[in-house]
Chains A and B, each alone.
Chain A
Amino acid sequence: MVKKLFVIIVLIGLAVFFYGMLSSFSGNETLNMSAAYYAENGAEEVGAANLVTAIVVTYRGLDTLGEVTILFLTAAIAAFFLKSKDNFSKRKVKESSELLKTASSMLVPLIFTLGIYVFVNGHLTPGGGFQGGAILASGLVLLLLSEPLQKVNSVLFAVVESISGLFYVGIGVAGIFLAGGFLDNSILPLGEFGTLLSAGALPVIYILVGLKVGSELSGLLTKFQETQEEN
């Protein structure tokens, strides 16, 4: 109880601190220097309708490479210590309901399609590689929920992951030679603003990111599935 009391005191301290921060935050009336720059020049320089995507993939492309790396790391780490159980597919589980099975077999293709759409159109509409990849993985979740014992081809995920990662880095490096620097999207023509084939290499990168995120998350999920001993 003494400990709880301490925690409360400390939390009060933290709250006071946060209150200070909150009261120093007065909202924005206009965009600040960086944001204004992106708003003014984003469309022209990157050619992506979605400014967030422009920032994520191009202006701050290194961050994105980094976050992809983090997912890769997570998956890799989990993979090397979560040892798959050989008999995971023989354990006893309750049969999934018919409803779930049927719905999943209908929905999964749709979900996959949606995921692909989201990352392919990442530079035009809300969404992008991460979102798309996450949607792909959520399809897999549904699949696994309906068929918990199903064996998933994790080698496929690994290969997709590696290839997309390599290409991503490759495109980045190509930027050094063909354009202004690492991860410059103008190695490909910017195309017509607002169309699918615009914004140079940006959609390509986002597709790779989507594939990579999707396969990484899927890989992680299957790892968890394979480690399960009982229900």
Chain B
Amino acid sequence: MVNLILINPIYIIGIGLGTAFLLGFFKKGKSVAWALMLAALAVMTYISFTWLWSFIFNGQLPEQVYTAGFKPPFSINLLMGKSEAFFTFLISFVGFLGGIYLFDKLKEQGTHAISVYLILIMGLNGIVMTRDIFNLFVFLEIASIATAGLIVLTPDIKAFSAGFKYMIASGLISGFLLIGIIFAYYFGGTLNIDFLIQADLLAVKGGVFAVFLIIIALLLELKPFPANGWGIDAYEASPAGINAVISAASAGAVYYVLSKVLPIADAKWYTVTAVVGMITFLGSNLMGIKQADAKRMLGYSSVGQVGLLLVFLGLSKQLGINFEFIVFGIIISHYLAKAGLFWLAGIVKTGKLKEWGILRRKPVLVFFMGTFIFALLGLPPFPSFFAKWTLVMTLSAAGMNLWVGLILLGSLVEAIYLFRWLGYTVKLDDNKELSLSTPLYKTIPVWVFGLLTYYIGYLSSTMVPGGSSLSMFYIPLAFVGVLFIVDKFLPVLIKNTVSIAAMAYYGWYYMADLTEFRMLFAIIFIGGGIITLIAGYAKNGKRIGFYPFAMMMYAGLAGLLLSENILQFFISWELMTLGSYILILRGKKSMPHALSYMLFSLGGAFLILAGLGLAYASSGANSISLDILKNVNQYSGLIYAFLAVGFMTKTAAIGLHIWLPGAHAEAESDVSPMVSAILLKAGMFGLVVLMLSMGSQSLGGVSLPYLLGWLGAITAILGNIMAVFQEDAKRLLAYSSVGQLGYVVFAMAFMSHLGWLTALAFALNHFVFKALLFLAIGGVVMRTKTKTMYEMGGLIKRMPFSFISVLIGIIALSGLPPLTGFAGKWLSYNAVIEKGWYFQGFLVSIAGLVAFLYCFRIIHVIFLGQPKDKFKNIKEAPLPMLIAQYILIGAIMLFSIMPNMVLKPVGDFLIQYFPDGALQWQGGTAISRLGRWSGVAIMNITMGIFGIIFVWLLFISRKAVKVKPFNIFYSGEAPSRPELTHFGYNFFAPYKKAVGFLVQPLVTRFWYGLADILHSISDLVRRLYNGNGQTYAFYVIIFMVVFSFFTIGG
């Protein structure tokens, strides 16, 4: 690599200070001063950059910089190593961009403010580089005073009170730090950190006090919960541009200091650090939930992220060689994302989260906002994802499962408020009275960091073990990227065509070689994707934000099938989740539902991650191939349970289903079939992989497939019963999906040939008819603008084609012969009797009956009965949607006539996994041990009878006169209330009276109750921060005293 000329790092400090002093001459020329500052920062950045470059590419060795011409420990020395180069680069770079961003604020406050800003950056650099503990103290003071000064860059009373609180707390902390330092000097005879480490303070009687004070003070500087109210208030009060720097640079710098100083202590202190970090991470995120102000919320998040870093630091020994990579990933994500988000907060100006809708005026910024939030939460393809992945793998391998659990829990809590915020931004009203401040100097930094996030994500992906296998995502993601870029310019017609072509090409080129399950799912994912996209031609305009995310979802789905190792698998899983989240979020009223979808998915993903981590550890921690699931030695029950529950958040098993109805029902008309008919199968595919690899496992003496069987059966029945009582057509279908996937889980739990055949038949059928139904109903909803069924009625006259679609769909769904749904029913009876799961089978059969009820309801209430006046002139659904529907109808018909076409090959490959109990095929007739079923015969006979009777009836009623339903009953008089003419509301009232207790929303109540409790705790805990500076100071002291009690023992 190119050799860059290395510049003595002392110039970072020299130039920073010198320029700051020089600025005194430019009292009037504020712009000149600003430009000078930028130039200085640019040089500082460049110096760090040269070092970083040399360390990475040219094998540069760390270099000591001596001052005053003497060697340490007698003079102060600085160190420029790889970490220092990295951190100083981060600091100066964000300082530089932040300086650009702060153009107006700095100019307004004049030269003094500019030099304070410059000194802050210089001080942070010094903190990172110095190896002398007292010098460190001086730089810390510089940084904290400069920070206190910059808090009041917007000089209002809030800022001053925040600044004052900040000074009280940091004054106390630095006082204690100084006591620690002087005692360290007393016991160690030196102030040089390296020599102090050698001096082994803890070995000296009393040295523990010095160690304690130094470490606790540095911890306090990092704002641990609950002694951090002063920091949080400062975040809320200070200008966003400053926050960006404080959060991105200061936190990094102080964190690095702690990692530099921590070696003076022993293992116990590492644990203390980890515990403090964990408490902070959990506590801060918990309180983040209840925040309504963007900057304050981000403050909590920042503090939480630093807590997470502390955990890593504390566990650095256990993390071993992966420590650096993990910290790098988390820090860089935090750095880019938090700075970016704070900058956005400055652009939006309003503090209130609910007013962020105005950001939509600049879609690119919303895009970056999403990027930053995803990066913060550790979703792929961002660096923190790879860090978290490595972290979980490493910690699991070290057997530290509790830590994994807590970290994932905290991340989930963080996701709650960050995604809610994103939801507000994307969905809530754009308040016209508010203005957005988007001068170039504010947007450029956001752009730079936003793009860097992707680039660093790419870099991280190459560094993670198994990273080279991630090249499989390059092509699809590149395509997604291109779609993002052209999204603003192209109309739906082109994008849709390109998307379909791309999917077809990708499927053809990369997925044609797939076999067995993967092929089957490929047909569902890719084939289904293409069909639903055809319906997309019905949309007009540009549909910004649809295609990239849809393609991202499909890329994830395809990735699941193509993945060979757990990393690929998990990334695919997350990509799919991300894409679908945004797709769902696009719906009109989908904000809360998208949030709960995301939270459940993320929770599920974390369970999967934990499960994979355990599996990795349990199989010897030396391979990430998907096959490790076959080789687990311990925790097998736990792994199985984690993964199964994780996958079932996607299949929406009962208990985890509450996100589904809303998410599927509120999505757009062609997104519903995607998420309901296609996406849910991803969870099923996960279960396939899991169950084939791990077989049956038990946990606590209970067979897990047995539990799954019950769970599936109960899901099936309850899901269907709930569907019966819906008034909203799409919700009805959504609940029906819950039930149908219950069948699937139930059937898979058999772990037998017939069971799996049933499951796959169910899955395939569900895909076809649910896509068909959602498309048809979607078309109706598109025309009627309502989803409430009883507001419709009589639409058969206006939308006959949609009617036929729905008719075919419900016949298939309810499993009536001769259509395809019957295949699943017949197979499931076989499997049930064979396995002896009579009661579960019974529940599932009832579920089928119940399905019949709602099927009838949906077709009756929408299409039959009295037509409503307002829909008199309604049009048939758009042609592209109908085309998509009729393709699916064709598939249903084909599958009904020739079930052997699909089931036979499926059965053939199932034999190698489950050799016993396979079906015999005689042409189109399936013969099981118990019975027989000939799809083609049933179809022909039924159609024959049907046809004969139909023709006959046509003949004998040839003189029939067509009348309008209205005339005959009401003599042409229109009753004023439509409820009177159309019986649709509360259709199965008798059932509700008899078994309504079954559909009490207990599960919903449970989750909402949990959410309430979480919010209440959050609300209660945040009362700790009463805004009084004295109280904050008190917490600092308490924190110290309490920890001294625990660590030194009073």
Chain A residues packing against B (C-beta within 8 Å)? 6-7, 10, 13-14, 16-17, 20-21, 23-25, 28, 32-35, 37-38, 45, 58-63, 65-67, 69-70, 72-74, 76-77, 79-81, 155, 158-159, 161-162, 165-166, 168-170, 172-173, 175-176, 179-186
Q: B1034–A76 contact, CB under 8 A?
A: no
A-B pairs, top 6 by smallest CB distance, nearest first, are A180-B69, A24-B206, A162-B24, A165-B21, A77-B149, A32-B189
Given A17-B1048, A21-B206: 6 more A-B contacts, CB < 8 Å: A34-B185, A62-B138, A76-B149, A165-B17, A181-B65, A181-B70
Interface residues of B in 149-201 (CB under 8 A from A): 149, 152, 155, 160, 179, 183, 185-186, 189-191
| Residue B821 at the chain A interface, CB threshold 8 Å | no
B145 touches A14 (CB 8 A): no
B946 at the interface (CB under 8 A from A): no
Q: Determine the distance from Cα of A33 to Cα of B139 in the docked complex, in whole angstroms.
A: 25
Is B1041 a contact partner of A10 (Cβ separation < 8 A)? yes
Contact of A34 among B20, B27, B191 (CB under 8 A): B191
**Contact bitstring B1020-1050, A, C-beta under 8 A = 1, else 0:** 0000000000000010011011001100101
Q: CA separation between A165 and B146, bound complex, in Å?
A: 17
Of A10, A23, A37, A62, the residue contacting B130 (CB under 8 A) is A62
Closest beta carbon of chain A to B1034's beta carbon, Å: 7
Let me know if B17 and A60 touch, CB within 8 A. no
Query: What are 24 of the A-B contact pairs (CB < 8 Å)?
Result: A14-B1040, A17-B209, A17-B1040, A24-B206, A33-B73, A38-B74, A45-B70, A59-B74, A59-B75, A59-B76, A60-B135, A61-B76, A63-B135, A66-B126, A73-B142, A73-B146, A74-B145, A166-B18, A169-B14, A175-B68, A176-B10, A180-B68, A181-B67, A182-B65
- Give CA–CA (A175, B191) in the complex, Å: 23
In the complex, are the beta carbons of B155 and A81 less than 8 A apart? yes
The reply to whether B145 and A73 form a contact with Cβ atoms under 8 Å apart is yes
Q: Quick one: closest A residue to B139, CB to CB? A: A66
Q: Which of B76, B115, B179, B189 contacts A63 (CB 8 A)?
A: B76
- 1/0 contact trace for B130-143 toward A, CB 8 Å? 10101100110110
CB atoms of B8 and A176 under 8 A apart: yes
B17 to chain A, nearest CB (A): 5
Q: Which residues of B contact A182 (CB under 8 A)?
A: 10, 14, 65, 67-68
A185 to chain B: which residues have CB within 8 Å? 68
Chain B's interface: helix, strand, loop or mixed, by majority? helix
Is B205 a contact of A165 with CB atoms below 8 Å?
Answer: no
Output the nearest chain A residue to B1041 by Cβ-Cβ distance.
Answer: A13
B25 at the interface (CB under 8 A from A): yes
Q: Which of A10, A58, A72 contacts B1038 (CB 8 A)?
A: A10
In contact, A76 and B68 (Cβ under 8 angstroms): no
Tell me the complex Cα distance, A37–B192, Å. 14
Bound state CA distance, A70 and B141, in angstroms?
Answer: 8
Q: Are the C-beta atoms of A80 and B1045 separated by less than 8 Å?
A: no
Shortest Cβ distance from B1037 into A: residue: A10
Q: Is the CB of B112 within 8 A of A80?
A: yes
State A80–B148 Cα separation when bound (angstroms). Answer: 13
Across the interface, name the chain A residue whose C-beta is closest to B199.
A33
Residue of A nearest to B8 (CB): A176
User: Given the interface contacts A21-B206, A166-B18, does A67 sit within 8 Å of B138 by beta carbon?
Assistant: yes
Given A33-B189, A162-B25, A182-B14, the answer on whether A66 and B142 have CB atoms closer than 8 Å is: yes
B567 at the A interface (CB under 8 A)? no
Question: Cβ of B189: which chain A residues have Cβ within 8 Å of it?
Answer: 32-35
> Given A7-B1034, A20-B209, A77-B116, A33–B135 Cβ distance below 8 Å?
no
Q: A80-B112, A170-B18, A173-B14 are in contact. Are A13 and B1044 (CB under 8 A)?
A: yes
Q: Contact at A180–B18, with CB atoms within 8 Å?
A: no
Chain A, Cβ-Cβ closest to B120: A73
Interface membership of B500, Cβ < 8 A: no
A33-B190, A69-B142, A179-B69 known; A169 and B75 CB under 8 Å? no
Residue in B14, B70, B113 whose beta carbon sits within 8 Å of that of A80 in the complex: B113
- A176: B residues at CB distance < 8 A: 8, 10
C-alpha gap A14/B191 in the complex (Å):
25
- Taking a contact as CB atoms under 8 Å apart, the answer to whether A73 and B130 are in contact is no
Which chain A residues lie closer than 8 Å to B22 at the CB level?
162, 166
Q: Is the CB of A72 within 8 A of B20?
A: yes
A134 to chain B, nearest CB (A): 18
Chain A residues with CB below 8 A from B1034, complex form? 6-7, 10
Q: How far is the CA of A100 from the CA of B932 in the complex (A)?
A: 118
Chain B residues touching A, range = 35 or more
- Chain B residues lying within 8 Å of A37, measured Cβ to Cβ, are 74
Smallest CB separation, B792 vs chain A (Å):
64
Contact across chains for A66 and B109 when beta carbons are under 8 A apart: no
In the bound complex, do residue A80 and residue B110 qualify as a contact, i.e. CB atoms below 8 Å apart?
yes
Inter-subunit contact B149/A70 (CB<8 Å):
no
Q: A6-B1034, A73-B116 are in contact. Are A61 and B109 (CB under 8 A)?
A: no
Provide the residues of chain A in CB contact with B17, threshold 8 Å.
65, 69, 165, 169
Could you tell me the distance between the alpha carbons of A176 and B8 in the complex, rounded to whole angstroms?
9
Most chain B CB within 10 A, of A37, A76, A169, is at A76
Measured in the bound complex, the distance between the Cα atoms of B17 and A173 in whole Å is 11
Q: Which residues of B are found within 8 Å of A184, using beta-carbon distances?
A: 67-69
Given contacts A6-B1034, A37-B74, contact A61 B138 (CB under 8 A): no
Tell me which of A10, A24, A69, A185 has the highest count of chain B C-beta atoms within 10 A of its own C-beta: A69
Given known A33-B189, A76-B149, A79-B112, contact A63–B24 (CB-CB < 8 A): no
Cα–Cα, bound, A186→B152 (Å): 42
B66 sits at the interface (CB 8 A): yes
B119 at the interface (CB under 8 A from A): yes
- Chain A min CB distance to B84 (Å): 15
> Whose C-beta in chain B lies nearest to the C-beta of A66?
B138
Complex CA–CA separation, A73 to B123 (angstroms) = 11
A180 to chain B, nearest CB (A): 2
The one of B149, B160, B1038, B1050 that contacts A73, using a Cβ cutoff of 8 Å: B149
When chains A and B are docked, how far (Å) is the Cα of A20 from the Cα of B1041? 13
In the assembled complex, which residues on chain B have CB atoms less than 8 Å from the CB atom of A172? 14
In the assembled complex, the CB of B18 is this many whole angstroms from the nearest CB of chain A, namely: 4
Interface residues of B in 32-88 (CB under 8 A from A): 65-70, 73-76
CA distance A183 to B8 in the complex (A): 14
Known: A14-B1037, A72-B21, A185-B68. A63 touches B190 (CB 8 A): no
- In the complex the two chains form, what is the Cα distance from A136 to B18 in whole Å? 24
Complex CA–CA separation, A33 to B209 (angstroms): 21
Report the minimal beta-carbon distance from B142 to chain A, rounded to whole angstroms: 6
- Known contacts: A65-B17, A185-B68. The answer to whether A76 contacts B145 by CB under 8 A is no
Query: B179: nearest residue on chain A (CB-CB)?
Result: A21
For B134, what are the chain A residues with a Cβ–Cβ distance below 8 Å?
A: 60, 63
Cross-chain contact A61 with B68 (CB below 8 angstroms)? yes
Contact A63 B1041 (CB under 8 A): no
Q: Which of A24, A62, A158, A168 is B209 in contact with, Cβ under 8 Å? A: A24
